[in-house]
């Protein structure tokens, strides 16, 4: 299977590190024109300069946007789509702060909703008119295994990501007639800055060493290791390609078998 995304335009959120970066790199390797989106322009410039260019007409660019400020984000993303159209949308944001349900209030959930749900909804609805016109499009939502089984200490993420999954399934049924696919990737434990931050937070709460916490997580995974971001990119590239043209409305666990151990 040779995935070619030549002439396809992709927009990838939170792509200066971790999973978003892994996806952006793989889409670029497959020939897509990739726009990466994040809040740190210095990091964006550095990443754009390192994205692979595999054919002469391939172009990469970046968009400075802060997912945590929805009103500003809305202005920026609306302006972007007034001048651009895309074929592949990867909805990915930084995660909300960890914490117990008992420690969170309604304002915390509203902020998480703006971050995880409203940005995804706004971006997708702006991308869809071009996809509908072309009768082709790929929407990929980076989600979490927590939608199947809530993860301790992630009350905000557990709640809002489940809402995104329900919305995505509803949307997939509505746009399927236009040959647009909508799929979710349920993320397990990957070797990223995010997982390191969560381990550090748990270490401070419990007094356990970070090394012990990481090892405990790895031992829960049948493959006994964390995932690599390039492995995430491989699945995203498949979902972005014509090989996945009849696959929609799904939530695919990518977790080294962890989902099967619940």
**Least confident among 109-118, 146-155, 244-253:** 146-155
Work out the average pLDDT over 49-72: 97
| pLDDT at residue 116 tops 90 | yes
Give dist(CA 63, CA 153) in Å, integer: 32
Work out the average pLDDT over 248-256: 97
**Least confident among 55-69, 120-134, 140-154, 242-256:** 140-154
Residue 14 C-alpha from the chain's centroid:
7
In percent, the amount of the chain with pLDDT more than 70 equals 99
pLDDT, residue 196, reads: 86
pLDDT, residue 1, reads: 82
Give dist(CA 119, CA 116) in Å, integer: 6
Buried b (16+ CB within 10 A) or exposed e, 16-34: bbbbbbbbbbbbbbbbbbb
**Least confident among 68-82, 150-164, 229-243:** 150-164
Contact indicator for 89, 139 with CB cutoff of 8 Å: yes
Distance set, CA 68 to CA 14, 26, 45, 110, 221 (Å): 12, 26, 21, 11, 31
pLDDT, residue 262, reads: 41
The per-residue pLDDT for range 167-181, each reduced to its tens digit, is 999 999 999 999 999
Contact indicator for 156, 112 with CB cutoff of 8 Å: yes
**Least confident among 12-21, 94-103, 107-116, 166-175:** 94-103
Q: Indicate left, alpha or beta for 153 from its phi (over 0: left) and psi (-120 to 50: alpha).
A: left
Pairwise pLDDT comparison (1 vs 89), residue with the higher score: 89
pLDDT, residue 227, reads: 95
pLDDT, residue 260, reads: 59
pTM to 2 decimals? 0.93
Structure tokens, 112: 């998480």
Count of other CB atoms within 10 angstroms of residue 47: 22
pLDDT, residue 194, reads: 82
* Average of per-residue pLDDT values in the chain: 95
β partners of residue 90: 12, 140
Work out the average pLDDT over 18-47: 98
């Amino acid at each position: 299977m040779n995935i070619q995304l030549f002439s396809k335009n992709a927009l990838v959120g939170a792509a200066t590190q971790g999973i978003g970066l892994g996806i952006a790199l793989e889409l670029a390797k497959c020939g897509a024109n990739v726009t990466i989106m994040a809040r740190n322009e210095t990091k964006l410039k550095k990443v754009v300069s390192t994205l692979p260019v595999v054919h002469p007409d391939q172009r990469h660019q970046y968009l400075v946007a802060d997912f945590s400020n929805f009103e500003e984000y809305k202005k920026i993303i609306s302006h972007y789509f007034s001048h651009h159209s895309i074929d592949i949308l990867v909805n990915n944001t930084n995660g909300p702060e960890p914490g117990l349900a008992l420690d969170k209030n309604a304002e915390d959930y509203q902020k998480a909703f703006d971050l995880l749900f409203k940005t995804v909804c706004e971006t997708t609805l702006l991308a869809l008119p071009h996809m509908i016109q072309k009768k082709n499009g790929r929407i990929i939502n980076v989600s979490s295994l927590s939608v199947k089984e809530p993860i301790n200490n992630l009350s905000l993420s557990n709640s809002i990501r489940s809402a995104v999954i329900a919305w995505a399934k509803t949307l997939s049924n509505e746009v399927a007639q236009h040959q647009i696919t909508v799929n979710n990737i349920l993320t397990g434990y990957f070797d990223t800055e995010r997982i390191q931050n969560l381990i550090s937070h748990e270490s401070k709460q419990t007094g356990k060493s970070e090394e012990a916490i990481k090892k405990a997580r790895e031992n829960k995974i049948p493959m006994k290791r964390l995932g690599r971001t390039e492995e995430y990119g491989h699945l995203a590239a498949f979902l972005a390609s014509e090989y996945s043209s009849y696959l929609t409305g799904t939530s695919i666990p990518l977790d080294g078998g962890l989902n099967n151990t619940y």
